[in-house]
Chains A and B, each alone.
Chain A
Amino acid sequence: MNNSILVAINDSISSRAVMDYIAGLSLSPDNLKITLLHVYRELSSSEELMGKKFLGKMPTRLLNVLQNAKDKLIENGFNPDKIEIKLVSASYPTVADGIIDQFKKGEYNMVVIGRKRMSKAEEFVLGDISVKLVRAIEGAAVLVVKSV
């Protein structure tokens, strides 16, 4: 049976924890397709202030993040032909919206996301992508990797 996993990452500590976790899993790599995904959120006004130069470098930086993640999986025995990198150029109102949209466009059995430690107040005010995914995603598992 073939399985397909969508792994949403960025350049954060929690995304590194996600890759460590997946790389260490005893999976059957030949039957497994992994999509390493990054989606952009619409820029906030403070991010816009960072300037065009900084923003212009973002795609390259994030492609490197995705490529490094792919390399890590290959080092751990995953089949390179079954790992896809996906940097979506369109931006979404929230990261959760982007992941949900990309999930709907593919056929995935599982979505993997990292989650940093948050207080209840932070979760309440700032929102929690993993909770949104659990609420929104139907017909697939949502795996949340909590970083320490």
Chain B
Amino acid sequence: MRGKLVTDTTDFCSIDKGDEILVGNKRYIITGHEKESRFGMDDPKFWVKKAIDTDTGEKKIIKLSHFENFQISLAGVRIKCFRNPDKEGEILKLVKNHLNFMQGNDYRDEKGNNVRVLDIIYGMNFFSYIDSITMDHATYFHKVLPGILRHLIRAFQGIRFLHTKGFKHGDIRNDHIIIDRETGNYVWIDFDYDYETLENPFGLDIFGLGNILLYALGKGFHTIDMIQQDTVNYGDLINQPEPGDFSILFKWRLMNLRKIYPYIPRALNDILMHFSKDADVYYEFVDEMIEDLNRSLHSVFE
């Protein structure tokens, strides 16, 4: 059965498979909804549609305007977060042809709602990629990590570019980097979140980068629970970490990876320690972190 033609996307829940969205003088036939996996369950994201461009047959993702705001609490600090479709639209224009950002266009429907039509990036996300590496940490560290870090630095430079233009990514996570199957580029996706940390506008973005670096250096996260329960891999490490070795915002997440992998050079580990409870100096700009990373990369691996 042929669906309806949609020119007003305000009620995005009512737009279903078979319907066509008309935007930017083009028609896109809806083939389904995107999902978000949480705790092993898939939550449909009704404002994010899978679609096909009826002119070219190309698969697209269409993001419709969904305004939600909520407060998160990180280590007792409350932060106001909200979705900002216009910000994502502005960034799409800014990063046109930038290899480290998803590509697409933003339009207005007949009611003025922001509609973003996005190209699909084929490849694994960074979270799954690291998780799929089965070799031991030492081999990974010496053979695989240098290449990953070079890609990550380029991706971090992308975030620096956003910040210099006054934009935040807003939701920097391991699964918001897609490793483009064709080019190998690390591509940022999903930048419609925003947050208010008024005197430190880029603080949470930088914290997100710190977590990604931690995940890369550690070949996964290491928490106090893991260390307590997995004595085969962690040995008697449980007696060694001190409170200052853990994340300033996630109190069970180990930042001081040298406690597990002593061969991680101090220079690299020190970058992570900027995000630990022991830190007295924090990164204020991504530049500072990139500079330290570049210096470490050259001194450690070259």
Residue ranges of A at the interface with B (Cβ–Cβ < 8 Å): 41, 44-46, 93-96, 119-129, 132, 135
How far apart are A116's CB and chain B's nearest CB, in angstroms?
12
- Complex interface: chain B residues within 8 A of A121 (CB): 74-77, 248-249
Given A45-B82, A120-B277, A125-B204: 10 more A-B contacts, CB < 8 Å: A44-B196, A93-B166, A95-B199, A96-B199, A120-B279, A124-B249, A125-B77, A125-B207, A126-B199, A128-B200
- 1/0 per residue, CB under 8 A from A, across B258-302: the answer is 000000000000000000010100101000000000000000000
Contact indicator A46/B284 (Cβ below 8 Å):
no
Would you call B198 an interface residue if the criterion is a C-beta within 8 Å of the partner chain's C-beta atoms? yes
How far apart are A91's CB and chain B's nearest CB, in angstroms?
12
List which B42-64 residues lie within 8 A (CB) of chain A: none
How many residues of B sit at the interface, in one of the four size bands? 20 to 34
Residue ranges of B at the interface with A (Cβ–Cβ < 8 Å): 74-77, 79-80, 82, 166, 196-201, 203-204, 207, 248-249, 277, 279, 282, 284
How far apart are B66's CB and chain A's nearest CB, in angstroms?
16
- Cross-chain pair count, CB within 8 angstroms: 66
Q: Chain B: which residue is nearest A95 at the CB level?
A: B199
Contact indicator B74/A46 (Cβ below 8 Å):
no
Say what secondary structure dominates the interface of chain B: loop
- Complex interface: chain A residues within 8 A of B201 (CB): 93-94
Q: Chain A: which residue is nearest B200 at the CB level?
A: A127
Identify A124's interface contact among B82, B196, B198, B282, CB under 8 A. Answer: B282
Contact indicator A126/B77 (Cβ below 8 Å):
yes
Q: List 26 A-B contacts (CB under 8 A).
A: A41-B198, A44-B80, A44-B198, A94-B198, A94-B201, A95-B199, A120-B248, A120-B277, A120-B279, A121-B77, A121-B249, A122-B77, A124-B248, A124-B249, A124-B279, A125-B79, A125-B200, A125-B207, A126-B77, A126-B198, A126-B199, A127-B198, A127-B199, A127-B203, A129-B199, A132-B284
How far apart are B179's CB and chain A's nearest CB, in angstroms?
29
Q: Chain B: which residue is nearest A93 at the CB level?
A: B201
Contact indicator A125/B196 (Cβ below 8 Å):
no
Looking at A45, A46, A125, the one whose CB has the most chain B CB atoms below 10 A away is A125
Identify B249's interface contact among A45, A125, A128, A129, CB under 8 A. Answer: A125
- Complex interface: chain B residues within 8 A of A129 (CB): 199
- Complex interface: chain B residues within 8 A of A125 (CB): 74-75, 77, 79, 197, 200, 203-204, 207, 249
